[in-house]
Structure 1
């Protein structure tokens, strides 16, 4: 069943991304939102099934680099589908869905790592909230990249291709800060649940995660303050988003990459 779910999710992710890409390249008319949502929902459900059954078994979670990456991209795809209902963000499917499909392929080929016990509901909630926070901030970073490119091309008076199909600059900014506000809320909950349910967040094997997570929180907090008090926009907002995202990814991926892919 897991293999079948993987194949189904990959095919549907690529189909939805292909339809939207064909529209952006002026090959077809804009696909109906309901069609993209239908394809995307089935893909996400299949991806969720395979990711959960790959990671979770017998009250243990395999938090391997590639396994968690697949779950994060599953959350990213789901969040993007939800955002389509409120904002014109369907163009993000072109980038996000192929990455989600790739994450499934890599996860299915990766070797399992020793799982950790999740008998504690508190620890499980901390892990889940952290994954959701990473997912939202990843989408925010992709949004920031699109925003920065859009403004640069607008100033150069040569908008074209995919960038021409993006929503207005002001709408792009609103979407970015909505994502960051929600992501900050989840990141705050992640830190709070970590301090509550993990015995010693500053233990040697956790101190780097704690440091970079707090650093990311501070960076995003400064960005939101700058937006509210100083009116930071587009390029400035994008740069702060990139720095905050880099710190957040170092909190998890930095140590995972070294421990699992280099030292192993």
Structure 2
């Protein structure tokens, strides 16, 4: 018997696939996709995605923090933000990255998520801290991918090459404006997550969070410095790209590195 979550997953993938090919074919033909159609079709996909994720992630025992649930949540959030950004900036082509990412996260979340992966200490404030941290991580990951695209785009433009993917991207100035939109969103979300963390976590050393917190705070300072430098001193271009990449490197080192050491090496 086919389960309802499977039906929702298939319908979401159909919506994602439709949105991807509709956008891709229009952009290749150098025609702007209809924003209303893209918005509706991707909103349907994201709504179905969220229903599947809700059944796996929100349980009577608390939030299930299985790694594949988190992957599904992060990928869906990245597409949602991409859709929001493309609603007021001419960056529809970036949905061609967000859609496959969301579809992949949905498939992995549905197929491989495991039950009973809860936080040791369950509390609403702690759940909010974790969700905000994941949201900040997702936005800043988007900014990092975006910065890499900008670096490649700038390199190709300087070489005066006309590759297909370069032609699909918005102008460099538009990409740069969107980068700072992402950085502002990520910086604010990370700031709130850190505040919640300081109030909700009792003992950073006992819970093996000291190194993760230190890296997160350093990363927060780097992003804050970049934003101040941009709005006060006009920092942009390659300097903005380097700051973005270095900030996320530290954030990932604290989050992924500590998780790898604790679970794979120390077996905790």
Report what 1:52 is aligned to. 54
Displacement, 1:44? 0.6
Between the aligned partners of 2:151 and 2:217, the Cα distance in structure 1 is: 26
Distance 2:237 2:55 in 1: 40
1:208 corresponds to? 211
Give the gaps of 5 or more residues in structure 2.
none
Segments of 5+ residues of structure 1 without an aligned counterpart are none
The residue that corresponds to 1:179 in the other structure is 182
Partner of residue 88, structure 1 = 90
- Residue equivalent to 1:193: 196
Note closer, same or farther for the CA distance 1:33–1:12 as it changes in structure 2 (3 Å cut).
Answer: same
Is it true that 1:4 corresponds to 2:7 in the alignment? yes
Matched, 1:67 2:69: yes
1:144 aligns with 2:143: no
Q: State the 1:34 CA deviation.
A: 0.8
- The answer as to whether partners of 1:24 and 1:162 remain within 8 angstroms in 2 is no
Determine the structure 2 residue equivalent to 1:109: 111
Q: CA deviation at 1:230?
A: 4.3
1:117, distance to aligned residue in structure 2 (A): 6.3
Return closer, same or farther for 1:54/1:170 CA change in 2, 3 Å cut-off. same
The answer as to whether partners of 1:137 and 1:179 remain within 8 angstroms in 2 is yes
Counterpart Cα distance in 1 of 2:241 and 2:192: 24
How big is the shift at 1:121?
2.5
Equivalent of 1:40 in 29, 39, 42: 42
Q: Deviation string for 1:21-60 (max 9, x for gaps)?
A: 223333x843211111111101111111111221121132
CA RMSD between the two structures: 2.3
Number of aligned residue pairs:
263
- In 1, Cα distance between the equivalents of 2:122 and 2:34? 44
Return the offset for 1:92.
0.9
Contact 1:118 1:124 in 2 (8 A): no
1:161/1:106 CA distance change after superposition, 3 Å: same
TM-score by length of 2: 0.88
- Which residue number in structure 2 is paired with residue 156 of structure 1? 159
Q: How far off is 1:203 after superposition?
A: 3.1
Whether contact under 8 Å (1:126, 1:190) holds in the other structure is yes
